[in-house]
Amino acid sequence: MKLLLHACCGPCSLEPVRLLRAAGHDLTIAYLNSNIAPADEYAHRLATLRAWAAGEQLPVIEGPYDPAAWEACAGRVGEAAHDPERHAARCRACYRLRFEEAARLAAAQGFDALGTTLSVSPYQYTDIIREELERAAAAAGVRPLFEDYRPFYDEATHRSRSLGMYRQNYCGCRFSDAEAAAERAERKAERAAAREAERAAHAEERAAAEAAQAARRAERAAYDAKQAKKRAVLKALREQ
């Protein structure tokens, strides 16, 4: 089957491409990701994807990079996001925009089906990805080919690291960048607090050990003083 595979980046493409090729599909990758910000991050991910795909003899189609269009839909939803349900709505709007663009491209260029690599990540909304992929494909008159690639996430991570591929530390949009930065800061603060608690615990242990040692010294000193007093009394008695 001639399949257009929407891809978000190189690392997330590794396992889907391997599995889809093994199934006999004729693949072309579509890089349609106006959500990615800033522009140099978009370019870095695309360059990583292109370099890997060239070695795989895998064609890559780049769609228009239009952050303003993304901001007008998903960005506007994201501005109102203050709870997990709104976060999901923001991601749904993002998936919808990108899948609609990919589905139109698939239909215009004669592809049989449309798939996506987004379901590799366990941090994405997999059910919503499927819903939006199927909706966009049906509207464009192409077959949706959804696969849940999450079981292959660890292998994709291992392979991408062994290949030295650039691995981003946030989903792509400005919201996910800020959220990931906040999570990293929180983890850093938690690690610092844990280290401080460990140091405090060690300090308490040292203080307790020193106090016990001082108590033993004081006890020994008191015993020595008592024995010295006894010896002095005995000596005085002998001298009488």
Q: Which residues contact 161 (CB under 8 A, 6 or more apart)?
A: 167
What one-character-per-residue DSSP string does 83-96 give? SHHHHHHHHHHHHH
Residue 12 is labelled as binding a ligand: no
Instruction: Please classify residue 22 by burial: count the beta carbons closer than 10 Å to its beta carbon, then call 0-12 exposed, 13-18 middle and 19+ buried.
Output: exposed
Q: Which residues on adjacent β-strands are paired with residue 205?
A: none
Residue 171 among known ligand-binding residues: no
- Cα separation, 212 vs 152, in Å, equals 56
The answer on whether 173 is annotated among ligand-binding residues is no
**Residue 33, Cα to own-chain centre: how many angstroms?**
18
Task: Please enumerate, by residue number, every residue annotated as part of a binding site for [4Fe-4S] cluster.
Answer: 8-9, 91, 94
Task: Please enumerate, by residue number, every residue annotated as part of a binding site.
Answer: 8-9, 91, 94
